[in-house]
Chain A
Amino acid sequence: MATFPSKVNYATGDILTATNMNDVGGAINLLDGAQFAAGKNKIINGDFTINQRAFTSSTISGTYGFDRWKQANTGGTVTYSAQTFTAGAAPVAGYEGTNFARIVTTGQSAAGDLGMLNQRIESVRTCAGQTVTISFWAKAASAGQKIAVEVSQIFGTTGSPSADVNTYFGQVTLTTSWARYSVTGAMPSISGKTITTSDQLALNLWVSAGTTFNSRTGSLGIQSGTFDFWGVQMEAAQTASNFQTATGTLQGELAACQRYYYVAASGNNLAVGTGANYSATNAYFTVALPVTMRINTAALVASTGTDYYAFDRNGAADTLNSLNLAYIGPNAAILYNNSEISGTAGQAGTFRTNNASASIALNAEL
């Protein structure tokens, strides 16, 4: 196929031939194909496939469930849960989604009550000054219930950043069947803003909002109901393009999630890494990081319990109950235990989990 335009300089009276028109058609088809492009979707895990935390349900505000997705609430009871599609029942033909997110709200009434599904997007520079379209599939248990879409530009969490800029994108009204909705708006410029550490965007999908939040939600109001979400996409575009995940591949999406949260092991008898006795009562263990995390100071989140972990060295297992973070860098974390360890300085061995409830994760979420 020839490139388009067919001529460098058109003149009055020029006529496009059939070949020219075929070139135009080919160029348009290429543009349509370009709707699939890595990085187009600024939302990570928009199809809720990645669930490193093995999340099932939570009512606690600020709790992460599916990777990158957390809920926020005040007042009443807001339950965020993981749901599974029946095979063949996913809302997009040809894209067999595995999971979807559900938010259920009850018992809210106060002006300051709220419920939302939320994702923090690294860097407030994302889509700044551009036209942005946010799209998602959703349904409700009761027809007529609404979702309000807002993006907050957060210029940092340390020092003295500029004040948050909250942009209301609009509301959508749901039915009881899966349908795709989109809202389009202008993301404000960040010109003149002061940006500090951990600047970010917050995509807020409001399902309930007291009058305190009228200006941010188009007066959404308090809603009691069941709201389901899948296929969330945020792109710099005038209209919603075909949905794809941020990376377009399963392994890419997992890696993108692991930039923020990495589960090194969860379960019994899982290899973690190697270790050595630094002294008789202190041992260090190395955990390799599969991707460089958002910050080189991720927090260690490790379950605690009797003999949850085992250090196999010198022909026997030395079991321990808890772990602390000693050092962390771009490629590895070094953990230690100085409460149960009993060995000989210099002894080396392998380190593993020793209980079904044992888990080791590193957290660099925004």
Chain B
Amino acid sequence: MTRKYIEEENGTIWYEENGFRVSFVKDEANSEYQEYLNPEAAKAIGADEAKTK
């Protein structure tokens, strides 16, 4: 399922999934923001654990 991200005027980004709203600010140290920037990587989270870059 593709996440639908909403960006607010104040710069906050959020999405809703499984009954939760996840909101975050733009910071690359934040894994949610990284997933926002690169959603394909987020889909492959199992592979992420076993990644061999």
Contact = CB atoms under 8 A, between A and B. Distances in A.
Given A74-B46, A324-B8, A297 B19 contact: no
A148 to B, nearest CB: 12
Contacts of B14: 324-325
Nearest to B26: A297
Interface string A331-366: 000000000000000000000000001010001111
B51 interface: yes
A197 interface: yes
Interface stretch (A82-90, A156-164, A269-277): A156-164
B24 A300 contact: yes
B35 to A, nearest CB: 10
Contacts of A302: 20-21, 23
A73 B45 CA distance: 8
A164 B30 contact: no
Contact of A297 (B21, B24, B45, B51): B24
Contacts of B28: 157-158, 197
Given A158-B34, A299-B30, A324-B14, A62 B49 contact: yes
Given A62-B46, A74-B47, A325-B12, A157 B34 contact: yes
A300 B24 CA distance: 6
Q: Quick one: which of A62, A116, A118 has the most chain B CB within 10 A?
A: A62
A61 interface: yes
A186 interface: no
B52 interface: yes
Interface string B17-50: 0011111110111111110000000000111111
A307 B42 CA distance: 31
Interface string A217-236: 00000000000000000000
Contacts of B45: 61-62, 72
Contacts of A62: 45-46, 48-49
A268 interface: no
Given A300-B23, A305-B19, A73 B46 contact: yes
B20 A325 contact: no
A166 B52 contact: yes
A304 interface: yes
A363 B21 contact: no
Contact of A213 (B29, B33, B50): B50
A365 B22 CA distance: 14
A112 B16 CA distance: 30
A79 B46 CA distance: 14
B8 to A, nearest CB: 7
A101 B28 CA distance: 31
Given A164-B51, A324-B21, 19 more contacts: A61-B45, A62-B49, A73-B46, A114-B46, A116-B49, A157-B28, A157-B31, A158-B34, A197-B28, A198-B29, A297-B27, A298-B30, A299-B22, A301-B20, A304-B16, A304-B19, A324-B8, A326-B10, A363-B22
Rank and list the top 3 A-B pairs by shortest CB-CB distance, nearest first. A72-B49, A297-B27, A62-B45
14 contacts: A62-B45, A72-B46, A116-B50, A118-B49, A164-B52, A297-B30, A299-B24, A300-B24, A302-B20, A304-B21, A323-B21, A325-B25, A326-B10, A328-B25
